[in-house]
A and B are shown apart, each in its own frame.
Chain A
Amino acid sequence: MSQNANLTDFNINASDLNQFETTYQENYNRMFNIGLKMTNDEEVVRDIIQDIFEKFYLRTKNGISISKPQNWLVKATIYSCIDWNKSRNRFKDNEEALNMVSDEKQLATIQNNNALEYALSKLKSEERTIIILYSEGFKYLEIADITDVKHTSIGQTIARILRKMEKILKAINYELY
């Protein structure tokens, strides 16, 4: 009920309301999980999703057609999270430079609960996106469409990323098995 009131305030007409609510309900969890894996910060992800849905509604309302809404929402989540990570890493890098932390020392201080975050951070941005989408159960065709990677090479790419992650985790003595 409160949700309907909010959406009415947002000037959504009755015919668009149902469609918008369905899209919101269907995609929220997926976007949230992707965002959480990319940023590791629930509050940030909620804000990001909020902004994305506002943009999404304004676009559709103003007649800008979105051919694949689900992919558009996922893409928007990924790019927003990448932007957020970039801004965060800028400060992180500065702190690291100030503290003059050596790589070995850095590795030694990594706790097991941060192992996954560490392994993901060592991947390239595109690799991280692919593996996160894969872990969320996206099909190869969807991953190819979102990341603009050739559909035929998705399997090979994911296999390579899995091997790379395993290697990184083993390097920090993380007990994977």
Chain B
Amino acid sequence: MNCIDEGKLLAFLDDELSSTEKILIREHIEHCAKCAGNLRLLQQRKENLMSLMNENIARDYSVPPFKPKATKPFISNKKRQYQKIVFYVAAAAILILMLLVLKPKTTDDYIIYSYDLTSEFDANLPITKQEMTIHIYSNNDFSENK
């Protein structure tokens, strides 16, 4: 029989092998010093690490009572998916609405005033008595308002 690998040796230590396999390994170890050494080393390694892993673990303490936080209705996966879709659609709708309402203005609105003197300027009259046409424009709407 060939030498035994670590996995098999560990399974032997953990009593995870069939009775036939155990007999074969026991027989081999009796005649193979290398495998017997490996088995001792593995056992030592296992014991040390397991004691290190379990030294701070409480074994005998009372189990606390089960305290449910709240009686929540059960939601199946399908329903959960449906709820997700509804949520995303609603969120998208709100976002689009907000974008439309709060659409950023590219330029500020302003009004252009200009005036033309329609008749000859009468120097004897004050400015308020002069005949003139006032043009009012908006930057967005260039239709003229007189």
Contact = CB atoms under 8 A, between A and B. Distances in A.
A103 interface: no
Interface string A129-165: 0011001000110000000000001011111101101
Interface string B16-59: 10000000000000000000000000101110111011100111
Interface string A60-83: 011000000000000000000000
B48 A6 contact: no
A11 interface: yes
Interface stretch (B65-73, B85-93, B95-103): B65-73
Interface residues of B, number: 34
A135 B54 contact: yes
Contact of A10 (B7, B44, B63, B71): B71
B20 to A, nearest CB: 16
13 contacts: A7-B68, A33-B57, A46-B64, A54-B68, A58-B72, A62-B76, A115-B52, A116-B53, A155-B16, A156-B5, A156-B7, A162-B45, A176-B48
Given A58-B74, A155-B14, A159-B9, A176 B52 contact: yes
Interface of B: 5-11, 14, 16, 42, 44-46, 48-50, 52-54, 57-59, 61, 63-69, 71-72, 74, 76
Interface of A: 2-3, 6-7, 9-11, 24-25, 28-29, 33, 36-37, 46, 50, 53-54, 58, 61-62, 115-116, 131-132, 135, 139-140, 153, 155-160, 162-163, 165-166, 176-177
A29 B6 CA distance: 31
A36 B57 contact: yes
What is the predominant secondary structure among interface residues of chain A facing chain B? Answer: helix
A54 B45 contact: no
Contacts of A162: 10, 42, 45-46, 49
A140 B66 contact: no
Contacts of A61: 74
Given A61-B74, A155-B7, A165-B49, A3 B16 contact: no
Contacts of B72: 54, 58
A61 B49 CA distance: 41
Contacts of A140: 11, 14, 16
A50 B67 contact: yes
Contacts of A36: 57
Nearest to A115: B52
A156 B71 contact: no
B127 to A, nearest CB: 72
A155 B7 CA distance: 4
Given A33-B57, A176-B52, A3 B65 contact: yes
B76 to A, nearest CB: 7
